[in-house]
Amino acid sequence: MSRIQQTFAQLKIQNKAALIPFITAGDPDPQLTVAILHGLVEAGADIIELGVPFSDPMADGPTIQRASERALKHHVGLRDVLAMVAEFRTTNATTPIVLMGYANPIEHMGYATFAQAAHQAGVDGVLTVDIPPEESVAEIFTAAGVDTIFLLSPTTPDTRINLVASKASGFVYYVSLKGVTGSANLDLDEVAQHIPVIRERCGLPVGVGFGIRDAATAAKIAQFADAVVIGSRIVEEIENSPREQVVSNLIKFVAEVRAAMNAVAKG
C-alpha cells in the first residue's frame, strides 16, 4: 500500500477528509521550502502538493503565477525540487508529497528518468496539468512506484472520466470551478452532487480544489469530499508574510482549517 493509500485509509477510519495544502517549491526562496513543508505537517496537513516552478503556468491564476516567478528568480528547477523532497524525507517518512506542474520540465529530463528520480527522492504522486489521459505516461510512473493524478471538472465528458478511471491512481483531483486557480464563485451544491458519481466511477478518493479560501468553506467540502485542496490562499499567505513569519503564519492558517474540518463529520 502506497503512502497516499495509507493516508486515505487511515482518514476513512477516522471519518475525516484529507487536508492538502499547495505551495510552490522555492517560494519565497529555496532555503525556506523544507521548513514550510514541515510546518504544514505540524499544522495538520495530510498530503502536500508541491508545485514545480514553470515559466508559463497556463492553468494557474495570478497568485500562483507570481509564486513561480519568485522561485524562478532563484533558478529553481525540477532537480532542485526533487532534492527538496529528498531533504524533507530525511525527517518525515510518512506524509505523502505530490508534485504538481507541467510536462515541459519532465520531458526535458525524460519521463522514465524523472519517474525513477522522483521515486528515489520520496515523491508519491505526480499531477501534470497539460498531459491528458490520452497521452498518459501513467504506466511509466506506476512502474516506478509513483501515482498518477488527473484533474476532472464539472464539464469533463463521460468518455474522459472513463479514461481517467482507467489510468489514475492515488486520488482524483476535482476542479470545482471553471477557469484558473484562485477563481471565485464556488457552487458547493453542484460540487456535492458530482463527488459521489466521480468516486464511484473512478474507484478512488476524490479531492476538491480551486476556490477554497477559508476554514468554513473547507469544512463544508470536507463533509462530502475525501480531500480538500487549498492552493492560492496558502500562496497568498507566503506572498504577504515577512520571510521570518512565513512558516508561523502558515501554521496558524492551516491549523485553523484543520480544526474546522475536524469539527464536522463526513456524510
Catalytic residues: 49, 60
Candidates 163, 110, 171, 158; CA nearest to 133 is 163
Phi, psi of 208 (to 5 degrees): -115, 130
Among residues 107, 162, 170, 159, the alpha carbon closest in space to that of 137 is found at 107
Decide if 191 contacts 208 (C-beta within 8 A): yes
